[in-house]
């Protein structure tokens, strides 16, 4: 099959590498003047992997769309709306399948990424998401993982899973777009919190963080109309190993650097997600103590140590 991947950051480039490895014809698109694109064009590699020659690199969005039936998007979540407007101006998108391989929620609106793209594209397209655990650094060393593909159309889900499945990535069919999208985005919030606990020498409280983090996001998903059990699946709890415990996790490393007073240069999407979830907490009237504590620390200058101690080491009470 012809598959295009839009976005050539760490994940986009890995996806192109992976989809080619699985046996498809791949075009990888990037912005002509982006550092990642220029680097790949010159060396055909980045910090993580080398792209095989048969993967075509292109900076023409029209080309990338017209050559493929399935288009995988992996760009910064907060840029999806403006990017979707650009996609909408391309005629050939009609009837194609777009797979969002990114974890975030629109910060200003609290909207899920599939909603954002759906709102901006006026033509009939299929929208799917690809979420779940795994680090590029592990996959390129042939360390397997299980991930999730979901859409509102089970036939689309099954087709994509069958096209993309391999020994390296085992796909499960996602059954709940709300739960999987919320779960994938908010695990980054828990990653930031985990990093803060690590930085404060409270790593042992990551157990409590897991128990209480899943619970509050589960409540939010239910309030939003999703299935509260989805959060305990691969998209959220199943991604905690990779997010709360791994050296590779940008969100965890951001949280740790934050409490240690260091700067951390890589994108920590969890920070935008904290903002988005604050919106959702108000909108759906659901209390989210951990997300709220992160909001106060990141955006209201509350002291991280005191705020997290207050959260995790409060007086005795019922657990549920």
Q: What is the set of active-site residues?
A: 187
Buried b (16+ CB within 10 A) or exposed e, 13-48: bbbbbbbbebebebbbbbeeeeebbebbeeeeebee
The verdict on 225 binding a second copy (CB under 8 A) reads no
Q: Does the annotation list 266 as a binding residue?
A: yes
User: Which structure tokens are listed for 244?
Assistant: 């709360």
The verdict on 47 binding a second copy (CB under 8 A) reads no
Interface residue with a second copy among 14, 130, 171, 258 (CB under 8 A) is 171
Smallest distance, a second copy to C-beta of residue 37, A:
29
* CA pair distance 267, 269, nearest whole angstrom: 6
Q: Does the annotation list 134 as a binding residue?
A: no
The verdict on 172 binding a second copy (CB under 8 A) reads yes
Interface residue with a second copy among 152, 229, 283, 306 (CB under 8 A) is 229
Q: Return the closest-CA partner of residue 6 out of 61, 53, 48.
A: 61
Residue ranges of the alpha helices (H) in 22-102?
A: 35-43, 61-66, 80-88
Interface residue with a second copy among 42, 167, 247, 300 (CB under 8 A) is 167
Which helix (H) or strand (E) element contains residue 212? helix 206-223
The verdict on 319 binding a second copy (CB under 8 A) reads yes
Which of the stretches 105-113, 143-151, 257-265, 272-280 binds a second copy when contact is defined by CB under 8 A? 143-151
**Which of the 8 DSSP states describes residue 237?**
G
Interface residue with a second copy among 46, 74, 97, 145 (CB under 8 A) is 145
Which of the stretches 61-69, 71-79, 201-209, 261-269 binds a second copy when contact is defined by CB under 8 A? 201-209
* CA pair distance 145, 137, nearest whole angstrom: 12
User: Which structure tokens are listed for 306?
Assistant: 């005191």
Smallest distance, a second copy to C-beta of residue 228, A:
10
Q: Does the annotation list 79 as a binding residue?
A: no
The length of the chain is: 320
Cβ partners under 8 Å of residue 273, min gap 6? 104, 105, 107, 185, 186, 188, 189
The verdict on 232 binding a second copy (CB under 8 A) reads yes
**Which of the 8 DSSP states describes residue 112?**
B
The verdict on 315 binding a second copy (CB under 8 A) reads yes
Q: Return the closest-CA partner of residue 186 out of 263, 134, 131, 135.
A: 131
Interface residue with a second copy among 67, 214, 249, 256 (CB under 8 A) is 214
- The count of chain residues that interact with a second copy, using the rule CB under 8 A, is 55
Which of the stretches 16-24, 158-166, 253-261, 288-296 binds a second copy when contact is defined by CB under 8 A? 158-166
Smallest distance, a second copy to C-beta of residue 231, A:
9
Q: Return the closest-CA partner of residue 213 out of 247, 180, 186, 178.
A: 186
Q: Does the annotation list 249 as a binding residue?
A: yes
The verdict on 317 binding a second copy (CB under 8 A) reads yes
Binding site for a second copy (CB under 8 A): 133-135, 138, 143-146, 148, 161-162, 165, 167, 170-175, 201-212, 214-215, 227, 229-230, 232-234, 237-242, 245, 312-320
Binding residues for sn-glycerol 3-phosphate: 103, 132, 187, 239, 249, 251
């Amino acid at each position: 099959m012809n598959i295009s991947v839009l976005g050539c950051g760490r994940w986009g480039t890995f996806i192109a590498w992976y989809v080619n490895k699985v046996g498809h014809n791949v075009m990888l698109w990037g912005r002509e003047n982006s550092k990642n694109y220029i680097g790949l064009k010159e060396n055909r590699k980045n910090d993580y992997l080398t792209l095989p020659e048969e993967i075509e690199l292109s900076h023409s969005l029209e080309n990338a769309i017209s050559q493929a039936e399935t288009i995988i998007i992996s760009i910064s979540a907060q840029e999806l709306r403006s990017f979707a407007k650009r996609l909408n101006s391309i005629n050939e998108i009609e009837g194609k399948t777009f797979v969002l391989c990114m974890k975030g929620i629109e910060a200003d609106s609290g909207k899920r990424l599939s909603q954002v793209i759906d709102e901006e594209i006026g033509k009939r397209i299929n929208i799917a998401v690809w979420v779940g655990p795994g680090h590029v650094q592990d996959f390129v060393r042939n360390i397997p993982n299980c991930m999730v593909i979901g859409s509102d159309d089970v036939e689309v889900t099954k087709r994509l899973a069958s096209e993309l499945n391999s020994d390296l990535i085992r796909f499960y069919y996602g059954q709940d777009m709300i739960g999987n999208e919320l779960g994938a985005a908010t695990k980054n919030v828990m990653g930031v919190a985990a990093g803060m606990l690590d930085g404060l020498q409270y790593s042992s409280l990551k157990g409590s963080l897991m128990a209480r983090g899943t619970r509050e996001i589960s409540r939010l998903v239910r309030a939003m109309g999703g299935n509260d059990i989805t959060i305990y699946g691969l998209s959220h709890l199943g991604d905690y190993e990779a997010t709360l415990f791994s050296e590779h996790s940008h969100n965890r490393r951001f949280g740790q650097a934050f409490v240690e007073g260091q700067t951390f240069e890589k994108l920590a999407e969890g920070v935008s997600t904290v903002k988005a979830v604050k919106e959702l907490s108000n909108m759906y009237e659901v209390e989210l103590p951990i997300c709220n504590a992160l909001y106060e620390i990141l955006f209201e200058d509350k002291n991280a140590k005191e705020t997290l101690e207050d959260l995790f080491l409060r007086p005795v009470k019922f657990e549920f």
